[in-house]
Amino acid sequence: ISYKRIGKNKLMYSSNEGTNFESFLEYIVYQQEKLYIEIYELSDLLKEKYNLHFNTYELITLVKSTSMYYDPISKIVFADYEIYYEVI
């Protein structure tokens, strides 16, 4: 088990969940049954389960720095562009 300080919080994770926060976000999205999640649901999940608070703009910026795809029209984070293409 490792941890990463994010703001005033420590995020604890096992080694298979990633070594940076962006990898952690990808891990969360890939855990979704449909391989995508609305940005507001992702924000709520981070608040409720991990006590991590981000405004929507910060979260979108973090998602864009990963291999995931964010669609600004539907406000959905997809695991990757291929999943986006399949859904849309």
Around Cβ 88, how many Cβ atoms within 10 Å?
Answer: 10
Residue 9 has pLDDT above 80, yes or no: no
10-69 pLDDT tens trace: 766 666 655 678 888 999 999 999 999 999 999 999 999 888 888 899 999 999 999 999
Residue 1: per-residue pLDDT: 60
Q: CB of 37 within 8 A of CB of 29?
A: yes
Radius of gyration of the chain (CA): 13
22-37 pLDDT tens trace: 888 999 999 999 999 9
> Distance (Å, rounded) from C-alpha 51 to C-alpha 9?
8
Residue 7: per-residue pLDDT: 63
Residue from 72, 58, 49 nearest 22 by CA: 58
